[in-house]
Amino acid sequence: METKKVPAIEVRHLTVSYGARPALLDVSVAIEQDQLVGVIGPNGSGKSTFIKAILGFVKPDVGEILIGGEDVQKAKGQVAYVPQRGAVDWDFPITVQEVALMGRYQRTPWYRNVSPEDREAAMEALGMVRMTDFANRQIGQLSGGQQQRVFLARALAQGADILLLDEPFAGVDAATERAILEVLERAKSAGKTLVVVHHDLTTAAEYFDNLILLKQRLYAYGPPSAVLHEELLSQVYEGRLRVFANLMAKEGAR
Amino acid sequence: MSFLMQAFWAPLTETYFQKALIGGCAVALVSGVVGCLVVLRRMAFLGDALSHAMIAGVAGGYLAMKLLFGIEAHAPSMLLGSLLAAVLTVALIGLVSRVSRIKEDTAIGIMYTGVFALGVVVVSIFRQYIHIDLMHFIMGDILGVADSDLWASVLVCATVLSVLVLFFRHFQLATFDPVMAASTGLPVLLLDYALTSCVSLVVVSAVSMVGVILVVGLLITPAATAYLLSDRLDRMMGLAAVFGVTSVIGGLYLCVWLDSAGGGAVMLFCTLQFLVVLVVAPRYGLLARWLRMRRLVPQQVVEDVLITVLRQQRDTALPVLHQYVQVKQPGDLHKALRQMEQDGLISVSAQGYRLTEAGDKEARQVLRAHRLWESYLASIGTPREALHPTAHRLEHIRGDGTVDYLDEKLGQPKLDPHGQKIPPRQKNNNHHENEP
């Protein structure tokens, strides 16, 4: 139908450094719309930096990032962000509903109050992640999976087409992981592009349409069958690959 | 009656008391509100630093006006000087912690004592020009509030309060989640500086009343008190303002009744207020915590009751339970029974306790765990007579697929070492899900 679709996120020759060490080196990748993309790589491979660069939160040394064809610094607010659970102060005096409402702040000018429509949109987003019943709870009183869902609701309430999630599956049980994944897939079918930092290689193939394999450099970008290659993984994960030997065997058997 | 009248009304007729009340309340109100953000951002130490650093600014402002224009104790320029000193200190702290390996808290400690020392040295060198009483500066003098101080504090109160109310959402978001705030285009750095300036303004106007040492208490104690009581930032700010005002009012009365130092009395009242709330706060207080712990029924007792009733295979009377169920504290069994009745695990009849359907299901799972543990213990060579008592202790370890692991490892046995049947696995046994 459409001849040329603008990629949701286009990263060109991105280099970000902390001192002499590059956190990311010459990463170029174009992420198409309506995709569930996983970002994988060992610890310290620049996954979080990659996410923060797309948010416009870290300044690249070289390279540019285009969000829907527009420079990232001009595209503020078009990318929604779900932080790592460890990065949130769960004792903060704030309720579930207020967190969701934060997603609407960028649409509200400073001299005006949050409108009833915004409140409705926030509640709707909470409904999408099935958290309406908890609207008046303080966020520290929720289980790990519920907390994750509240922040998903905030991202949905933002109305952004691109969602970035930093390790949403870290430290939740299998049932919760399923529930979160379900929400992600629903968001995808609603036309969102989701980029998810993920640490579990055993589930990566099953969850994502495409995978980005990072370790400072971009090692691969493509469908899981192409990325989860023994040769590539052994390059990136070096000696720690034995753990995945099993997985490789399973992949081969399919 | 007339005594009470005397105690409460008489001070109100005094001008010094009225001024102290107005100025103190204004300052305490706004410092409570801004203190909430200070507490939530863990900036308490910075507040302390700002109050100390301002003496250099006060001395600088005083000296500049005196030497340039010959004006004595020009309040606005001293205020401006202390603001400058505060901002400079913050900038120096940022610089040191960024460019060296020194961490931020250490950098704060170094810089504020340094700037404070500079102020002290300048004041003492130029003591024939500067008439600043260092003691007044350190201890404050809420009962001797000058009209100019009063105006300054009311002005500061109005300004800071307007900024915080107008940009409430911005401060809330930037405090709670700076990464998201930046990603939506909020000027996070600017907000940080705005907040620091607000804190400095409040600190500067509060120092003349409670002094350098106590001002940080006025900033964070009412906010911390409110933090124990509220789960929303706007309510926390409202409550903190109330606590700030009540500590000034209470402290001032304390001070006239006991004939004590004003600043000290205010902070003492403020701290007592905090301690009372710490004990009685409905959710986060010590009393509530203690009650929760007391009400907590040990899972072990519940499971012991279940398995005892199941083994009896009929309605079980209380004495039987007392015989088989071991408890640490005498009341635990009754507490457990009451809780289990509420949860629908057991029902009571004239003959004693009976398992409901849910209770029966749960009891069989405990029994399954018990017998599998026994089988496991037997398989690793535990003496036969130790099997039951050891398994009785271990049967409570059932989480995270423990029982299934044992089952698999032992080759899914049908009978335990005593030849009794091991109950089969229950499918939907995940009642722990979705609990906070």
How close, in Å, is residue B56 to chain A by CA atoms? 35
Q: Which domain holds residue A10?
A: 1-74+204-254
- Searching chain B, which residue's CA lies closest to the CA of residue A137? B231
Span A108-126, mean pLDDT?
91
Of B183, B233, B435, the CB nearest to A57: B183
Residue A172 lies inside a defined structural domain of this protein: no
Any idea what DSSP says for residue B421? B
Q: Which residues of B touch A76 (CB under 8 A)?
A: 183-185
Rounded Cα gap, residues A170 and B165, in angstroms? 37
In a domain, A222, yes or no: yes
Tell me the C-alpha to C-alpha distance, in Å, between residue A37 and each of A218, B82, B321.
Answer: 14, 53, 58
B75-99 vs B104-125: helix axis angle to the nearest 10?
140
CA dist A64 to A38, A164, B82, B180, B378, Å? 21, 18, 43, 20, 66
Task: Report the pLDDT value the prediction gives residue B50, as an integer from 0 to 100.
Answer: 87
| Contact between chains at B180 and A102 (C-beta distance less than 8 A) | yes
Q: Which fold has domain B361-426?
A: Arc Repressor Mutant, subunit A (1.10.10)
Q: With an 8 Å Cβ cutoff, is A77 touching chain B?
A: yes
Task: Report yes or no: B200 and B112 within 8 Å, Cβ to Cβ.
Answer: no
CB atoms B185 and A76 under 8 Å: yes
| pLDDT value for B172 | 96
Residues of B in contact with A80 (CB under 8 A): 183
Residues in chain A: 254
Q: Is A48 on the interface with B (CB under 8 A)?
A: no
Whether chain A has a CB inside 8 Å of the CB on B167: the answer is: yes
- For an interface test with A, give the residue of B98, B168, B231 to mutate (most A CBs within 10 A): B231
**B234 to chain A, closest Cα gap in Å:** 9
Percent pLDDT > 90 in chain A is 46
Cα distance between residue B347 and residue B288, in whole Å? 30
pLDDT for residue A1 is more than 70: no
Q: What is the pLDDT of residues A5-52, one digit of tens each?
A: 788 999 999 999 887 888 899 999 999 998 999 999 888 889 989 998
Residue B120: per-residue pLDDT: 87
User: Does any domain span residue A230?
Assistant: yes
Residue A106 forms contact with B (CB below 8 Å): yes
Which residue of B lies nearest to A107 if distances are taken between CA atoms?
B184
Pick the CATH number of B14-290 from 3.40.1080.10, 1.10.3470.10, 3.30.930.10, 3.90.850.10: 1.10.3470.10
Is A51 within a domain? yes
Q: For chain A, what is the mean pLDDT?
A: 87
pLDDT of residue B436: 38
CATH no. for residue A14? 3.40.50.300
Residues paired with A18 in a beta bridge: A21
DSSP secondary structure letter of residue A43 = T
Is the ipTM here above 0.90? Answer: no
Q: What is residue B10's predicted lDDT score, i.e. its pLDDT?
A: 83
In chain B, domain spans: 14-290, 297-355, 361-426
Cβ contacts of B182 on chain A, cutoff 8 Å: 55-57
Q: Which residue is closest to B39 within chain A, CA to CA?
A: A92
Mean pLDDT of A102-113: 89
| Whether the Cβ atoms of residue B427 and residue B436 lie closer than 8 Å to each other | no
Query: How many domains are contained in chain A?
Result: 1
Q: What is the pLDDT of residues A196-246, one digit of tens each?
A: 999 888 888 889 999 999 998 999 999 998 888 888 888 888 765 555 555
Interface of B with A in 36-55 (CB under 8 A): 40
Q: Which parts of chain B have pLDDT scores under 70?
A: 1, 73, 400, 427-436
In a domain, A178, yes or no: no
Indicate yes or no: CB of B179 within 8 angstroms of CB of A56: no
pLDDT at A245: 55
User: Which chain A residues contact residue B169 at CB under 8 A?
Assistant: 105, 108, 110, 114
Please answer yes or no on whether B436 and A93 come within 8 Å at the CB atom: no
